Structure 1
Amino acid sequence: MDIDPIVAAAWRHARAAGPVRPGEHLGLVRFAVYPEVYQLPSAPMTHMQWRATGEMIRADRLAWSHIVMQDNGYWDSHLGDINMVPVDERPEVAGHRYALFGHDWRAQPADPWLREKSAAVLSGSSMAQARVSPRGELVVLSRPEFDMAIREALRTLRDTKTLSGNPLNRSRIVLESGRDLSEVLQQAAETLLDERGGEKRHWAVTVTYFRGSPTQETAAERLGLPFSTYRRHLTSAIERISDLLWHHELRGEAIPFPERSEPTP
């Protein structure tokens, strides 16, 4: 990475603007050049741009994509119009400066990007002008931030005002599910019933948070469990919910709602 100043600059930008999380990757259009005109418009350049776009759209777990161009301003307007944001750093190679443009596909995934691009083309405006999204911008959390947000959301589940400020409200698992955060958490808790030993975890988290026990000691009493056993089940339940939702957050997959009647503890 450090051998190529442009690759190093792309990684520095990603780390500062939204670090690549485990299982994700960064893409870089590094050598889009047609020798006869270098990086000016040409049939080969158009082909390279469409090929790069296709790779970005169909990539699995792509966090960032970056495009590098000669720092002469020629492509700035075009790339800005398709939400490829200019990076402040201008790396230098062999005495020439280059411009980097980046897009965080977790904050604006391929489907909404394509919809907004199509709307911009049809209206004759740029994507920046056409972009009006009722969902708002997605937030990209690290795993520790995500786990902390899950714990905080469970603790404040019955406090609507506090829950509305939780960053998970702008995560993929919520915005792309069409459901609110409390429903997503309930859904994740229900899936515990499908796991080996999951019923104990399910009831620990359900009685504690979804049924609003005033204290954890009260929840343990309601479940008829020693407090240490109850705490073990609750801790395990929260960890499993975080693992499940993190998996779906990274992959952008919806969690299916299980259809079952609720058992009585």
Structure 2
Amino acid sequence: MGFPGVWMTESESMIYRVVPKCACSTIGQIMYYSDHGQFFDGDIHDSKAGLHKWSQDDSQPLIERAVRDRSAPSFTCVRNPYARILSSFFDKIAGIQRNGRRYRGKLVPQLIQRYGIDVGSPENGFEFDQIASFRRFLLFARDTIRFRRPMEPDIHWSAMSGHIATFIVNGGRYDRIFFTETFNDGMRQVLDDCPTPVSVDLAQVPRFNESEGHGPKRAHKVSAYFDDLSRHLIWEIYKSDFQLFRYDFDDPDNKMPVGEIDLDEVHAKLGR
């Protein structure tokens, strides 16, 4: 199976397991900058050179050797599950993608037909009932994850623990897992562990949010989107994310973690 979703700098200074909707664009750009002294011109997910990716055949033996030898620090980043699933909805379902189209072509029309979701349009200023539509999307997301119907689960709303586990199961070990909510502190620790060719001033790094400005803004506080049924579904989908990464299930408005991540526990539970 190898190491899907893994990126590594060309200098082999650091290894990163991508977790969608957890600052992955910004992290990828920082990695690129730490080798080349400039950011990639465009979406870092589209880069074909300047950064090793498991999806690039030539990069695979280099990544595999570095992971097996533990010759570079390996890390990933996590995010509050409530905020992450909301971000997935507003970006991938309600938003327009950078190519000017809806995400995955027929997905949104299928959701409108099967689940009664309304996401508005640029023509009406994305006017729609955000709370009702999000809750219906959440039911769809649960169906894809629990029953793999009407489609396989998408990487943007499948559990973080599932992404993170593949690296462990296939022989990798994380040196750090940090929080999106305290991004600069966590990324600084990663950079301090890595002898990068170019130093990075995190205070000067922009946030590379590739979906910014292409869809509706969230109109309510996080807890407004989650009634009792929604929270039941969230627990069903993301129980391990809340437990392993120390996020507060009881208060959707508390985006901050309530404890430190135990790396030994993560490896023990996700490495089975």
**TM-score for the superposition, normalised by structure 1:** 0.23
Task: With a CA cutoff of 8 Å and minimum separation of 6, indicate the structure with the bigger relative contact order.
Answer: 2
- Of the two, which has the highest radius of gyration? 1
Tell me which protein shows more helix as a share of its residues: 1
